[in-house]
Structure 1
Amino acid sequence: MFAKKYVKKNGKRVLFTSASRAEMGGNLGAVYNRMLERGLDNDYKIYKVFKRNIWDRSKFLDKFKLPFYLGISDTILIEDYHPLVNKLNYDNDTEIIQLWHANGAFKTFGYSRLGKPASPLIDGMNHRIYTKAITSSKHVIPYYAEAFAINESNVVATGIPKTDMFFNEEYIEETKSKVLYAYPQIKKAKKVILFGPTFRGGGPKTAYYPFEKIDFEALAEYCRKNDALFIFKMHFLVKNKLDIPERYSDVLINATEYREINDLLFVADILISDYSSTIYEYSLLNKPMLFFAFDLEDYIATRDFYEKFEDFVPGKIVKTFDELLFSLETHNYEFEKVQMFREKNFEFLNGGASDRVIDWLILKDYVGFEFSGEDLDQKNLVIQQGNYEDKGRVV
């Protein structure tokens, strides 16, 4: 690689890159924005290269810029599978940090899916190059280590940067205003229901959702009867298009083109999902969820979960659309599961994940973070990854 050979590292170059988003956002955006807020762009040179979808062609200049930046950067941050990042060889002092876009460990991914459709090759190199990866809590560290085929000591429970916004009331109110501007119908609804399922299929090239499972007429009737608004936010990989009949447009909204589902969570009174990791973020809002899992057995056979689905999810499971509507009508959500889920799957419930990523993994500065008695395992991991100064902290 030309850049690696002729441009000397200086410890001050950081690259943010994604192969599945057109612009800064998600975990990358949270860390990037926090670096700017802290003025770190005065000391560090920050590069950015993005591509809308993994199957899209790169922009002409990006074909040269991205390999060059990969070669000269000291720290490379990604939040998804990035083909080019995984293809190159790097100096031993290059940090490649995976800020995986999902929270927690729900459905299996990476090398945890060996033997399943579209799983990586057992001797493949995808993911193995990461020097660090982050998780929402300590108990999922073994799952991420397995999925990325890296050592558990290289997986750190910093919390998930994009969840910092859930602890910022000013941000929440600003985001609500932005969503209401985009979808003014929300203002008139007494109940806002967000439908955010994941895709079916083996991967980006075959991703789809079986829209025939949705009874649009019955759903519109329920919404009109209950002054409700139903918002569809399909997974960005889904290739077959959602087509809502025009006669239902007063109560059914297609918000698939709205990039950040987290923004929509703030205006939703109920989330309906299936196997999507969006449930982690939504649990932070302490609101009810339903799980439309009509194909649970098939999904287990082809994708599977780290824990038993029925015992894990924070809400009621329904298998048919009639059951889904009945649960909505009767307010049967099994809401008591939400708090237990939240406490299990989040190491920190006070924000600050972006700062921990920056300080622990980019700056390698562990001073200023207190570890309580129950955080000794995390402290030991931090010590393994750099100098930790214990100046009278509670340990």
Structure 2
Amino acid sequence: MKLSIITPCKTKDIEKLKQLATNLNRQDNNDFEWVIACNHDVDLNGLNFPIESINFNGENVAQARNAAIRKAHGDYLMFVDADDFLLPNTINNVINKLKPNCLTDLKVYPTYEPVNSYFTEINQKQEFRMPNWAFRRIPEPTAEETELNDNFQEVNQNIIFDNISKYLKISGKIIPKGIVWDNDILFDEENPLYDDFYFMGKVLGLVDKFIQFDTFKYVKVKHNDPINDPSLSQLECDDRWDQMLNSFIKTFNSVTYNELQNKIVIHSINKINKYFYNAVISNKFSKNKLNDILNIMSNYLSLINVKLLNNVNFISRRILINIKKHNYSKAKRQMKLLIGLRYIHKLLKNKGRGITRVYYEMICKKLKVNEKVIIYESFLGRNYSDSPKYIYEYIQKHYPGQFKHIWIAANSNVKKDLSSKPNTKVVKRFGFRYMYYMGVSKYQVINMRQPRWFHKKPGTVFMSTWHGTPLKHLVFDMENVASATRLYKKIFYEQSRQWDYLVTANQFSVDVFKHAFMYPEQKMIKSGYPRNDILNVPNRDELAKNIKQKLGIPLDKKVILYAPTWRDDEYVDVGQYKFQLKLNIAKLREQLGDEYVMVLRTHYFITNNLDTSGFGDFVYNESSYDDISELYLISDILITDYSSVFFDYSILRRPILYYVYDYDKYASVLRGFYLDMKKDLPGPLLKTSDEVINAIQNIDDVSAEYADKYAEFSEKFSKWEDGHASERVVNMLLKDDKRVKKID
């Protein structure tokens, strides 16, 4: 037996362990054993290699790894965490390259949020493809890098030491067991957060040969849900800095090789310089806790050569020297100076927005709340639309002159729409007036999320209207977060805790938001969406006629509204996607142009302007039209895909077609659904342009075929939509304000 793969595991990781089992079972070489130390019984059958399972009842990962080391029979130890995996053919590529007294580095590739289906795809196909959406904040590998090969090089200690932060981590390392046994090297069981520093520090001081593979073979999955499934680095721990510093001290004292000691010190002081001062200034520690940490840091600094402090800037160097001398008050003043300078530097880089943020932090957030100010924002200030629009209009009508209304705008369109409205002011998003009103407003009505830096004041009311009934998995139900930072779930959780109310359209949404947002049901308003009130007004036919005339659409033509959404795999940047028009518009025009015109309305995430100029008067591209509810009113048929627009459109009881040319890929790989699209939708799933044309030509037959399904769908999703949602929502928003008077 040459190789022992060691995996610590806790009960919450059992499902991940099963995935890893599948991954290992598909390796081309099974000349290894798998040693699992778990605090739960592990039932894994049908594997091509032996398993040594340890029913482990210890407290931390270090104890589990040490228990596994003691049971390992192999000549080499490879450490693979339960939520990571190896690329195909890895063991076959490395097993003949292992050498006595030689550390082997598999070259770790850190991924963010790969979905399970993608993981399964790697296992099943035994190939490695790197889709853009599977990785975040790291360079996409070149074609040469993604080729699986066994090329490697022997590197010297200087290369290892120059990358010491990487080599102090156990992931992707293969270590001769003899080095571990002969030198009694174990993981630090007293330091559960940083147990591998001590272990790897001793190993690096003893080996004199290093093998590093040219291509990455170990994929380390970084957790994207710090709230429900935090990694060790994401755990909220009061003693994190104590443990980190103690790990550096213990590792420093255990290493006899001076150059390695120096590299460990440089790594540690860079970490202190980067993270610690900001934590102090942000009041992350109590006074006693901070003194405890500073005492540990002082002891550590007394061990090291003061010349190594030259690796940080002058102010940081003075801070560390003062900590070493126990001049803590002076050190804290210097920390404030350094953080202030960093903040100014960041503001200067951000130019205008940075300056207004200073204005908010220094002045606006300290101002007294104005009881009569309401702020509204729709889709990050892009337009005057959605539920905030209809809440605003209801308040204007029924509480005239009693409030000052502030609309946030990212462009000039919003100001144009509101220029003649009484008691209304439009302010530029992130401008000076924006910051002022964010600081003084009593009410905030927003359909997405507030900025991360905004914290509502006591006594104010924040209402999230959200922006749709969910079809695709949201936030905590998402395995893959391709459109945002890997801390998206943590940030969302922190922001949504500030919401006083969350507006919901139906009971289905209530049930989803409870787990997708982890939001309490008692704070949800079960009202329907204010934006849908317009779909039930008595004069909606007259409104539709006026809208058609405004857009120049012939009154004698029927309207097809095509409203596709974005795709995760067409990612450009955070919240930005490209879209390729797959529907054969030319053929639709040829077959349907005598009777119909098409209105195109893409999702606001889609950044590229689709060129429809070649389709003459058949296509009206209204992707920038503010209020999609008005486009619902003028349309006779809706074509969509995975957009939630059909939930709202169904209120009109008009035909809905689903053009889902990429259904198999989208459903299984890109995003999961809350509904079974093949069973639950009030219209057919169509995969070709010909099927779409045929459905439109026979739309009466399609409507008859789906009549029962449509009625069932409406009962489930539209029951609350009676045209009075705005009234219910505003009543909740203003229920504690005794000074306002409603005028019916």
5+ residue gaps, structure 1, are: 366-395
- Counterpart of 2:659 (choices 285, 289, 292) is 292
- Indicate the residue corresponding to 1:45 in structure 2: 404
Correspondence list, 1:198-213, <5 A: 198-201=565-568, 202=571, 205-211=575-581, 213=582
Give the match for residue 93 of structure 1.
Answer: 459
Structure 2 SS opposite 1:257: coil
After superposition, the C-alpha distances for 1:122-159 in whole angstroms (9 at most, x for unaligned) are 43334343221111112321312333332222122111
Q: 1:32 to 1:172 in 2, by over 3 A?
A: farther
The within-5 A match list for 1:1-395 is 1=361, 2-7=363-368, 9=369, 11-18=371-378, 20-42=380-402, 44-52=403-411, 62-82=430-450, 84=451, 86-102=452-468, 104-118=469-483, 121=487, 122-124=489-491, 125-184=494-553, 186-189=554-557, 191-201=558-568, 202=571, 205-211=575-581, 213-224=582-593, 226-246=594-614, 248-300=615-667, 301-331=669-699, 332-333=702-703, 334-336=705-707, 337-364=709-736
| Cα pair 1:107 1:305 within 8 Å, conserved | yes
Cα displacement (A) at 1:344 = 0.5
- In 2, the alpha carbon distance for the partners of 1:319 and 1:109 equals 25
CA–CA distance in structure 2, aligned partners of residues 340 and 32 of structure 1: 32
Distance 2:672 2:659 in 1: 16
Query: 1:391 matched to which residue of 2?
Result: none
Percent identity of paired positions between Structure 1 and Structure 2: 23
- 1:157 touches 1:347 (CA, 8 Å); kept in 2? no
Give the count of matched residue pairs.
352
What's the CA shift for 1:266?
1.5
TM-score by length of 1: 0.81
User: Offset of 1:62 from its aligned partner?
Assistant: 4.6
Tell me: CA distance 1:91–1:81, structure 2 relative to 1, closer, same or farther (3 Å).
closer
Quick one: distance in 2 between partners of 1:158 and 1:284? 15
* Mapped contact 2:600–2:620 kept (Cα < 8 A): yes
The CA distance in 2 between the partners of 1:61 and 1:142, in whole Å, is 33
CA offsets, 1:350-383, max 9 Å, x none?
A: 2111111110233248xxxxxxxxxxxxxxxxxx
Equivalent position amino acid for 1:218 in 2:
K
Question: What is the aligned partner in structure 2 of residue 393 from structure 1?
Answer: none
Local SS of the residue matching 1:309: coil
The structure-2 alpha-carbon separation of the partners of 1:195 and 1:18, relative to structure 1 and needing over 3 Å to count, comes to: closer
Write the distance in 1 (CA, Å) between the matches of 2:734 and 2:517.
20
RMSD: 2.7
Q: Higher helix fraction: Structure 1 or Structure 2?
A: 2
Query: Is the CA contact 1:176–1:266 (under 8 Å) kept in the aligned structure 2?
Result: no
CA distance in 1, matches of 2:514, 2:435: 27
Q: Secondary structure at the match of 2:458?
A: coil
Aligned partner of 1:353: which letter? A
Secondary structure of the structure 2 residue equivalent to 1:77: strand
Question: In structure 1, what residue type is equivalent to 2:385?
Answer: G
Distance 1:175 1:317 in 2: 28
- Counterpart contact for 2:527–2:725, Cα < 8 Å: yes
* Alpha-carbon spacing, 1:364–1:139, altered in 2? closer, same or farther (3 Å): farther
Change (3 A) 1:99 1:172: farther
CA distance in 2, matches of 1:40, 1:60: 24
Classify the secondary structure of the residue corresponding to 1:311: coil
Q: C-alpha deviations, 1:48-98, integer Å up to 9, x for none?
A: 222249xxxx9778522222222222221101234x2x3222223322111
Measure the CA separation in 1 of the matches of 2:444 and 2:427: 20
Residue type at the aligned position of 1:74: K
1:210 and 1:65, CA in 2 relative to 1: closer, same or farther beyond 3 A?
same
Report the AA paired with residue 577 of structure 2: A
C-alpha deviations, 1:98-128, integer Å up to 9, x for none?
11122x2222223332434235624333434
Distance 2:477 2:411 in 1: 27
Pair 1:288–1:250, CA change in 2 (3 A): same
* Alignment-mate amino acid for residue 73 of structure 1: S
State the SS of the aligned residue for 1:12. Answer: strand
Task: Give, in whole Å, the separation in 1 of the partners of 2:496 and 2:404.
Answer: 25
Q: Does the 8 A contact of 2:411 with 2:428 survive in 1?
A: no
1:78–1:266: structure 2 CA closer, same or farther, 3 Å change rule? same
Residues 202-259 of structure 1: CA deviation (Å, up to 9, x unaligned): 5754312221x122321111123x522222222222122211253x313233222322
- What is the deviation of 1:36? 0.7
Is the Cα contact below 8 Å between 1:16 and 1:76 reproduced in 2? yes
What's the offset of the Cα at 1:23?
4.3
Unaligned 5+ runs, structure 2: 1-360, 413-425, 738-744
Checking the alignment, whether the CA contact within 8 Å between 2:381 and 2:429 is kept in structure 1 is: no
Contact 2:682 2:710 in 1 (8 A): yes
The alpha-carbon distance between structure 1 residues 17 and 318, as it changes in their structure 2 partners (threshold 3 A), is same
Q: Tell me how far apart the structure 2 counterparts of residues 25 and 245 of structure 1 sit (CA, whole Å).
A: 26
SS at match of 2:706: coil
| Residues 1:72 and 1:287: Cα distance change in structure 2 (over 3 Å) | same
Tell me the TM-score normalised to structure 2 length. 0.44
Checking the alignment, whether the CA contact within 8 Å between 1:229 and 1:252 is kept in structure 2 is yes
Partners of 2:675 and 2:617 in 1: how far apart?
39
Partner Cα separation in structure 1 for residue 630 and residue 478 of structure 2: 30
Check 1:90–1:126 CA distance in 2 against 1; reply closer, same or farther (3 A cut): closer
Q: Which has the higher contact order (CA 8 A, sep 6+)?
A: 1
Asked if the contact 2:390–2:530 (Cα under 8 Å) also holds between the matched residues in 1, the reply is yes
Name the amino acid aligned to 2:404. K
Within 1, Cα distance between the matches of 2:686 and 2:429? 48
Distance, in Å, in 1 between the alignment partners of 2:429 and 2:548 is 34
- Equivalent position SS for 1:249: helix
